[in-house]
């Protein structure tokens, strides 16, 4: 006997309607309504994803992301089916598949975010630095001085040694 018969749930039109004695149980009624809404959302997403899957204008990255999302959707639907049948999904392989699909989607989102980050235009940066390098600096004991100041200090040191 399936769970739907145990709860005496009757499908009428778009939503679920419980028998009179179960309508008073807010917990069951809320669970059924939540399930119905989740199922409707998944169905809508699946229709959109399948229609987009037929588009010939998708890039390879978009196709991979869409296929990953379809795997997530179908795995979620199968998980919901197993739960309705009263199966213990904690010991079922679907949990591993569902977790793997979530990881793939998270990794895809991470990659897309990193690709959208601003990038440094290296040729322009090199030109900018080269144009601003008319003054050369030298590290003189932890103090940055111009090359001209460094040469003068060497001359001053050399002159002071000659005077002694």
Residues sharing a CB contact under 8 Å with residue 84, sequence separation 6 or more, in sequence order: 2, 3, 4
Q: C-alpha angle 104/106/112, rounded to 5°?
A: 100
Q: C-alpha angle 48/41/39, rounded to 5°?
A: 120
CB atoms closer than 10 angstroms to residue 70? 17
15-30 pLDDT per residue, tens: 556 666 666 777 877 7
143-159 pLDDT per residue, tens: 777 777 888 888 887 77
- Domain boundaries in the chain? 26-116, 122-159
Residue 4 has pLDDT above 60, yes or no: no
Residue 61 near residue 114 (C-beta atoms within 8 A) = no
Higher-pLDDT residue of 159 and 4 is 159
């Amino acid at each position: 006997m399936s769970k739907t018969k145990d709860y005496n749930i009757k499908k009428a039109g778009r939503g679920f309607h419980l028998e009179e004695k179960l309508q008073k149980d807010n917990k069951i009624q809320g669970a059924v309504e939540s399930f119905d809404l989740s199922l409707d959302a998944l169905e809508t997403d699946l229709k959109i994803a399948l229609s987009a899957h037929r588009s010939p204008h998708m890039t390879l990255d978009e196709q991979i992301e869409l296929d990953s999302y379809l795997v997530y959707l179908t795995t979620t639907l199968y998980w919901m089916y197993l739960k309705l049948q009263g199966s213990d999904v904690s010991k079922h392989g679907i949990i591993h598949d569902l977790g793997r699909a979530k990881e793939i989607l998270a990794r895809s989102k991470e990659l897309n975010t990193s690709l959208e980050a601003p990038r440094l235009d290296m040729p322009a940066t090199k030109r900018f630095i080269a144009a601003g390098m008319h003054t050369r600096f030298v590290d003189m004991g932890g103090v940055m001085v111009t090359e001209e100041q460094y040469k003068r200090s060497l001359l001053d040191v050399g002159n002071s040694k000659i005077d002694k």
